[in-house]
Chains A and B, each alone.
Chain A
Amino acid sequence: MIRVQNLTKYYGERLAVNNISFNIDKGEIVGLLGPNAAGKTTTMRILTGFLMPTKGDAFIADHNMATDSLEGRRHIGYMPESIPLYTDMKVRDYLEFFGRIRGLDANQTHTRIDEVVQTCHLEEYIDVIIGKLSRGFRQRVGIAQAIIHNPDVLILDEPTIGIDPIQVAQTRNLIKELGKEHTVLISTHILPEVSIICERVIIIHRGKIVAEDNIENLSAVLRGSRRIRVEVKGPADRISIALRRIPGVRRVMREGDFFIVESPAEVDPRAKINETMVKSGWTLLSAESVEMSLEEIFLQLTTKEDEEEPHQ
Chain B
Amino acid sequence: MRNIILIASKELRSYLTSPMAYIVVCIFLLLSGLFFVLYLTNTSFNDTSIQGFIDPLSVFGVQAGGNILLLLFAVVLTMRTLAEEKKLGTLELLLTSPVRDSDVVLGKFLGSMGILTIMLILTFLYPLLLVILGDPDMGPIWTSYLGLFLLGTTALSVGIFASSLTANQIVAAVVSGAILFALWVIGIVAGNVPEGLQEVLNYMSISYHSVGFETGVIDTRDVIYYLSLTVLFLYFSIRSLEASRWS
Contact = CB atoms under 8 A, between A and B. Distances in A.
B1 interface: no
B95 A49 contact: yes
A225 B99 CA distance: 48
Interface stretch (B3-11, B127-135, B156-164, B195-203): B3-11
B90 interface: yes
A87 B91 CA distance: 14
Interface of A: 11, 45, 48-52, 70-71, 73-74, 76, 78, 80, 82-89, 93, 97-98, 100-103, 145
Contacts of A88: 14, 17-18
Interface in B8-65: 10, 13-14, 17-18
Contacts of A70: 98, 100
B247 interface: yes
Contact-residue bracket for chain B? 20 to 34
B121 interface: no
Interface of B: 3, 6-7, 10, 13-14, 17-18, 88-100, 245-247
A74 B92 CA distance: 15
A47 to B, nearest CB: 9
B90 A86 contact: yes
Q: Which 8 A-B pairs have the closest CB atoms?
A: A84-B89, A48-B96, A84-B90, A73-B98, A82-B89, A74-B98, A52-B245, A101-B97
25 contacts: A11-B247, A45-B92, A48-B96, A49-B95, A49-B96, A49-B245, A50-B92, A51-B246, A70-B98, A70-B100, A73-B96, A73-B97, A73-B98, A76-B96, A80-B93, A84-B89, A85-B88, A88-B14, A88-B17, A93-B13, A98-B93, A101-B7, A101-B99, A103-B98, A145-B93
A311 B34 CA distance: 52
Contacts of B18: 88
Contacts of B88: 84-87
Given A82-B89, A84-B92, 11 more contacts: A50-B245, A70-B98, A74-B98, A86-B14, A86-B90, A87-B88, A88-B14, A97-B6, A97-B10, A102-B97, A102-B98
A235 B97 CA distance: 54
A98 B92 contact: no
B95 to A, nearest CB: 6
Contacts of B96: 48-50, 73, 76, 78
